[in-house]
Amino acid sequence: MNKKQVQERLKKLRTEIDYHRYLYHVLDRQEISDAALDSLKHELFKAEQEYPELITPDSPTQRVGGIPLDKFKKIKHQTRMLSLEDVFSEEEIKGWEGRLQRVLKKSVAFGYYCELKLDGLALNLKYKKGLFASGATRGDGETGEDVTNNVKTIETIPLFLRQPPEKELKKIGLSGTSIKKLLAAIKNGEIEARGEVIIFKSDFARLNQHNAKKGEQIFANPRNAAAGSVRQLDPKIAAERPLKFIVYDLVTDIGLETHEQAHEVLKLLGFKSLKYNKFCPDIKTVIGFHHHWQKRRSDPDFHFDGIVVSVNQLKWYKPLGVRGKTPRYMVAYKFPGEEATTMVEEIKVQVGRTGKLTPTAYLQPVPVGGVTVSRATLHNEDEIKRLGVKLGDTVIIRRAGDVIPEVVRVLKNLRTGKEKAFKMPSACPICGGKVARKRVSDKKQKESVAHYCVNKNCFAVLKRQLEHFVSKGAFNIEGLGPKIIEQLLNEGLVKNAADLFKLTEGDLVPLQRFAEKSAGNLVEAIADKKNISLARFLYALGIDHVGEETAITLTRNFQFSISNFKLNLRKLSDFFKEEKLRGIKDIGPVVAKSIEDWFGNKKNQKFLRDLFDAGVKIKKEKLVKSDKLKGLKIVPTGELKNFSRDEVKRKIRESGGDPQSSVSKNTDFVLAGDNPGSKFDKAKRLGVKIISEEEFLGMIS
């Protein structure tokens, strides 16, 4: 996007975000999930970080929450109620810490206080001379709604503050001055505390059951129920609702040293603070805390959507300061949401084993549910029509549990007018074969029209090619066995070997047998093999008559100089001309013709281009890595423990030796494994030296 386009995008994003925030904060209603809205806000925030000159004063990143409703009296906050910046990954939380150091221009060893981020309604409570005086919502951050009478009915909000004995305050490490200030504020002054009103999950279920029986309002979720109960005019209704207040900040300055102390003080004053909160000495521990609670997200009886991380030492708050509406010293480290927004870059058709053509959205990669997703299924043509999705659209995608990511909604307000409609192809994108339409019904008995490739060979050939491509002597990709290859093809995730390099965790996790960890491992294992030797590369292509041996011969004979080793298509096709190949010892006419034909084929050329585009690079590899077996002619025979036949040959070659397949008097050694056979007998007869696998290992190590 050029700057003008970014500016346009930001404008549209702001309008869209404002609309959904209005629903959320003012009307306690939602059209899209929290996670999808977070995702839009995140895009806006990041773009504004990149182009600070494009920030407008009315951007949602600069303003807090909603507008106080007219039906309430207003309360002006003495200290602004801010909002939090979200981060979603280890990388981003580390980036946040890095920014703190940059702002301070020094490397400070911050300690952090971590809390669960509750999903409810923020409240500011004021106490005068120790007595509860008023309660206000956040509103626009400056002015909130006066909900004093409603929140007075919440039992976990003390109506008067406890006066802790000095001994207790000393025990939590408060200085003499802080103790004095605190006690004076309780007795004669003001104390302000902030926290979240929530409804516990079990209470929420009971509330909805009860309301259903009486034909009263059913709430979508505990947050809406909590916010709706506090933001209505009749205190009797609030009193009937199972509201709880959980405290998270002491606003009144009594000269404390740490945020952890603030929590201790609040508990002594009679507030409920979460027992799960914890001090973490460094970012690594913070990440551990986050992962711990992400796994146990459903354990507590309340919803939380991440953790709040605060710099623990309060002395840094002022120098770090506030940016827009968010303090720098605090951040929300969110759990991965099941939904996110991103852009459709392309719509391509995948062909599965049954021949079914599945239109698939290729997306700007985005984290969803903890993994990066770069494509989402569009199921079939009917679904594309139902969603109205076009190329270039911003969409909400969902990845729930281990289900294949899908597009659930198009955000049409974000369109630029340049989006393009998609049409199902009339020929199979793999084999060019005929496509037929069939009426099918899915698991949910929903009828739709699916497109099918009618050529049965379309799939089988591809499967064999892929198995060869990843085999030991070729790209040697561990963890990519025949079962998995079949799954990848079944799902249509892979159309040719080049697609392997485009797989992401998000593609793999939904497949059977794939936990997130093994998905990540496989993606890494594949990426690791992008740099490959020419010999392996040539062998992997699966050209008729080109085995490992021939591939090595070809490599040896082309004295590629590494300085211009950027192999491109033209260079390759120039090299592999029959008349040049015919000059090479060990390359016969059939092999030479086969190679030339392969490189001359348009489809193969496109395949090579795809491989290079996917990031495959041919590196110069020394065929001989040591001279431990220099000049020795060695015949392997029998079953070896550590090597397959191809592997041992490779080992011999790498050590400067010459692996041979038949024994003669010129043979230097026979390397004999278990159950050797006729080569062993012949060696004995000719008096050729026989060595064991152990001796061989000793020679090459």
State the catalytic residues.
Answer: 117
Q: Is 83 in the site for ligand IVH (CB under 6 A)?
A: yes
Q: Is 61 in the site for ligand IVH (CB under 6 A)?
A: no
Q: Is 309 in the site for ligand IVH (CB under 6 A)?
A: no
Structure tokens that stand for 438 in this block: 């069939």
Is 481 within 8 Å of 374 (Cβ atoms)?
A: no
Q: Is 424 in the site for ligand IVH (CB under 6 A)?
A: no
Stretch of residues binding ligand IVH (CB under 6 A), selected from 78-86, 260-268, 493-501, 645-653: 78-86
Taking the least distance from each CB to ligand IVH, the nearer of 30 and 448 is 30
Q: How deeply is 685 buried, as exposed, middle or buried, from its count of CB atoms within 10 A (0-12, 13-18, 19+)?
A: exposed
Is the Cα torsion angle 534, 536, 541, 545 positive or negative in sign? positive
Q: Looking at 55, 67, 69, 82, which residue binds ligand IVH (CB under 6 A)?
A: 82
Q: What is the C-alpha separation between 195 and 218, in angstroms, rounded?
A: 25
* Order of all β-strands in the sheet with 304-311: 86-87, 330-334, 304-311, 112-118, 278-280
Taking the least distance from each CB to ligand IVH, the nearer of 223 and 451 is 223
Q: Is 37 in the site for ligand IVH (CB under 6 A)?
A: no
Q: Is 587 in the site for ligand IVH (CB under 6 A)?
A: no
Structure tokens that stand for 163 in this block: 């006066």
Q: Looking at 66, 135, 327, 510, which residue binds ligand IVH (CB under 6 A)?
A: 327
Q: Is 322 in the site for ligand IVH (CB under 6 A)?
A: no
- C-beta of 171: minimal distance to ligand IVH in Å? 24
Stretch of residues binding ligand IVH (CB under 6 A), selected from 114-122, 489-497, 555-563, 629-637: 114-122
**3-state DSSP of 400-444:** CCCCCCEEEEECHHHCCCCCECCCCCCECCCCCCEEEEEEEECCC
- C-beta of 280: minimal distance to ligand IVH in Å? 14
Please tell me whether residue 377 adopts helix, strand or coil conformation.
Answer: strand
Taking the least distance from each CB to ligand IVH, the nearer of 146 and 419 is 146
Write the CB contacts of 468 (distance below 8 Å, at least 6 apart in sequence): 474, 540, 542
> For residues 174-233, which are near ligand IVH according to CB under 6 A?
196
* Size (the chain), residues: 701
Q: Is 337 in the site for ligand IVH (CB under 6 A)?
A: no
Stretch of residues binding ligand IVH (CB under 6 A), selected from 115-123, 377-385, 440-448, 538-546: 115-123
Paired residues of 135 in beta bridges: 125
Q: Is 115 in the site for ligand IVH (CB under 6 A)?
A: yes
Q: Looking at 24, 248, 329, 669, which residue binds ligand IVH (CB under 6 A)?
A: 248
Q: Is 118 in the site for ligand IVH (CB under 6 A)?
A: yes
- Residue 358 falls in which region: left (phi positive, over 0), alpha (psi -120 to 50) or beta: beta
Within 10 A of 692 (CB to CB), how many other CB atoms are there? 12
- C-beta of 305: minimal distance to ligand IVH in Å? 9
Is the Cα torsion angle 107, 111, 116, 118 positive or negative in sign? negative
Q: What is the C-alpha separation between 181 and 175, in angstroms, rounded?
A: 10
Q: Is 66 in the site for ligand IVH (CB under 6 A)?
A: no
Taking the least distance from each CB to ligand IVH, the nearer of 193 and 523 is 193
Q: Looking at 10, 308, 591, 663, which residue binds ligand IVH (CB under 6 A)?
A: 308
Q: What is the C-alpha separation between 25 and 36, in angstroms, rounded?
A: 16
Stretch of residues binding ligand IVH (CB under 6 A), selected from 52-60, 163-171, 326-334, 530-538: 326-334
Q: Is 371 in the site for ligand IVH (CB under 6 A)?
A: no
Is 144 within 8 Å of 156 (Cβ atoms)?
A: no
Q: Which residues are near ligand IVH by CB under 6 A? A: 82-84, 115, 117-118, 122, 138, 196, 248-249, 308, 327, 330, 332
